[in-house]
Copies of this chain bind each other. A is one copy, B any other.
Amino acid sequence: MAQSQQISSVYSTGMAFTTTLNGFDITTDTMPDAGGTGKGPRPKALMLVALTGCTGIDVVSILNKMKVAYTDFSIDVKADLTDEIAAVYEKVHLIYTIRIAPADRERFEKAVTLSMDKYCGVSAMFRKFATLTRELVFLDAAT
């Protein structure tokens, strides 16, 4: 049976809405120039956080299963928006950066590919409205 998720986002003041997700309160808002009081981030970019969080979990899980050691792992995103109203992400570029032994770089690349092409639901959704590209950056292995 298909899974279902439910959330409830409650308005407080300004442009602030608060949602309790897995026990954590997430508040979105705008800055005063758009009627808000800056109680939280603007909502749209949470989609990018969902994207890095999702593919990040996949990559860490796969590296752990392969017993590959690494440090300094981060995922950056540069997302270009359309000029339209409403503005939507149209080009989304992910940069995976990691410090890992040269012998393990191919495994890391495989983990990223598996996530982006198979396991990560958020990237599957993004691909329906945006062009997704990626690059891998290898930091020198720990000295």
Q: State the A residues within 8 Å of B (CB).
A: 1-11, 15, 17, 19, 21-24, 26, 28, 30-31, 34-36, 38, 40-54, 56-57, 60-61, 64, 73-83, 85-90, 118-125, 128-130
Interface centre among A35, A52, A80 (most CB of B within 10 A): A52
Verify B5–A79 contact, CB threshold 8 A. yes
Verify A3–B46 contact, CB threshold 8 A. no
With both chains docked as a complex, state the minimum distance between the C-beta of A15 and any C-beta of chain B, in angstroms: 5
- Which one of B7, B31, B57, B124 contacts A48 once the chains associate, using CB atoms below 8 Å? B7
With both chains docked as a complex, state the minimum distance between the C-beta of A92 and any C-beta of chain B, in angstroms: 10
- Which one of B42, B51, B60, B75 contacts A15 once the chains associate, using CB atoms below 8 Å? B60
- Which one of B43, B75, B124, B129 contacts A49 once the chains associate, using CB atoms below 8 Å? B43
Task: Provide the residues of chain B in CB contact with A38, threshold 8 Å.
Answer: 22-23
